[in-house]
């Protein structure tokens, strides 16, 4: 399980590039209902 978490963390760190952050944020905003704000 620890290895899986490590791999996931690595994948996330690789995905979090400047261009991908915008895409990810858009996906998150699209999935989150508009009436619920953080």
For the chain, domain boundaries: 2-31
User: How far apart are the C-alpha atoms of 18 and 9, rounded to whole Å?
Assistant: 17
pLDDT for the residue 28: 82
- CA angle 11/13/34 to nearest 5° reads 95
Helix (H) or strand (E) holding 37: none
Q: What is the pTM of this model?
A: 0.38
pLDDT for the residue 6: 92
pLDDT for the residue 12: 83
Tens-digit pLDDT profile for residues 1-38: 799 999 898 888 887 776 777 887 888 888 776 665 55
């Amino acid at each position: 399980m620890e290895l899986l978490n490590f791999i996931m963390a690595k994948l996330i760190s690789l995905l979090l590039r400047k261009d991908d952050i915008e895409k990810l944020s858009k996906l998150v905003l699209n999935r989150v209902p508009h009436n619920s704000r953080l």
